[in-house]
Amino acid sequence: MSRIFACALAAACIVGPLFSTPSPAASVENSAATLFDAEVARSREFLADMMRGGIDVPVPKDVGGGATHEQHKENYRAIYEAGQLYRLFGDRRYLDFSRSMLLAYAELYPTLGPHPARANEHSGRLFWQVLNDAVWLVNAIQGYELIRGDLTEPDREKIDRLFRQVADFLSIESVDTFDRIHNHATWATAGVGMTGYVLGDRSLVERALKGSRQDGSAGFLRQIDVLLSPDGYYAEGPYYQRYALWPFMVFANAIEKHDPQVEIFKRRGGVLLQAVRTAIDLTYNSHFLPLNDALKEKGLDT
C-alpha cells in the first residue's frame, strides 16, 4: 500500500508495557492505530473502485502520465493492496481480484517487446522506462506472496512464470540498469530478489544480492555499501533517499526473514536503519530539504 500504510503496519506491531495511566508510548500506539485504521479504510475504498471497474490490463503505449501508464500503476497498487487486505480480513473477493489481474498480466506480458514510447535505451515493457517495470515488480510480488498459497496449482504455475519473466527481463535483458549503483538498480534488485524468495529460486536471490555476475561488484549489497554514508545520508540527496528507502527496507526485511545469517540490518554498523532516521532528520516542516535534484512538495507522507 502507501508508505504511510507500511509505516502504520510496523508501528501497530509494536507492543510495549501495560500502564495504568496514559504514557508517551500509549499515545504513539493510539496514533498508530488511528493511522492504520484510516489507511485500511482508504485502501478498501480504492479496491472497491477498482473492482467495480473490472480488470483492465491494457497494451502499453503511453509515456509517463498517459492512460496506459497510469492504469498499470493503479494495477500494481491494487495487486499489492489486495494481498494485504486478503491477509487482514480473509475476504476472497480480494484474492479473486488479484488472481484475475495477475492472470491477465500472464497472458499479456509474453507478447510485449520494448515499450513503443521508450524514452531511451533503458526501455521497459509495461512502462516507457525500465525503472517503472521494477517498481511494478516490487509492488506486485509482495501482493502475490500473500495470495500464492491459496491459489490452484495451474494458476500458481502461470503466475509464477509471469514473475520469472519479469525478473529475467530486469536482471538479464536490462543488465546495464540492474548492475548500476543507483536508485533504479535498487528497485530492480529488490524486485528480483523478493521474486526469488517467493518462487524459491536461489539463483534470482544471488543475482539480486551480488549483481548479474554474482561477484559482488554490483547488486543490492554493493548498493548499501556505496550509496549510503556511515551516518545514513543517501548519495543522490534527500528526495531520492525517500524514494530508495522503500525498496531498500522491504528487500532487507525479506533478507532478514529468509537469510538471517546475512545480518542485513547490522551491515556497516546498521546503516539501513540509520538511513531511516537520517531521512527524517533531513526534513523541515515534514518536507525534505531540496538538495540536489528534488521536487519541493515531497515529504514524509508522499
10-residue averages of pLDDT along the chain (302 residues): 42 35 50 83 97 98 96 99 97 99 99 89 92 98 98 99 99 97 97 99 98 98 98 92 95 98 98 96 88 77 72
**Cβ atoms of residues 190 and 255 within 8 Å:** no
What pLDDT shows up at residue 172?
98
- 284 forms beta bridges with 287
- 228 forms beta bridges with 234
H or E, element range at 9: helix 3-12
**Cβ atoms of residues 214 and 206 within 8 Å:** yes
C-alpha cell at 120: 531511451
C-alpha cell at 12: 501497530
What pLDDT shows up at residue 30?
65
Rg of the chain on CA atoms, in Å: 19
- 287 forms beta bridges with 284, 299
What pLDDT shows up at residue 292?
79
C-alpha distances in Å from residue 209, one per residue of 67, 167, 168, 285: 35, 14, 15, 36
Quote the pTM value. 0.90
What pLDDT shows up at residue 49?
98
What pLDDT shows up at residue 287?
87
Phi, psi (5° rounding) for residue 38? Answer: -65, -40
Buried b or exposed e, range 196-206, using 16+ CB within 10 angstroms: bbbbebeebbe
**Cβ atoms of residues 199 and 189 within 8 Å:** no
Domain ranges of the chain: 228-302
Long-range contacts of 173-180 (CB under 8 A, 24+ apart): 174/122, 174/130, 174/133, 175/212, 176/121, 176/122, 177/122, 177/130, 177/131, 178/211, 178/212, 178/218, 179/211, 179/212, 179/213, 179/217, 179/218, 179/219, 180/218
Instruction: Please report where in the chains the cell 491477465 appears, as a residue.
Output: 104
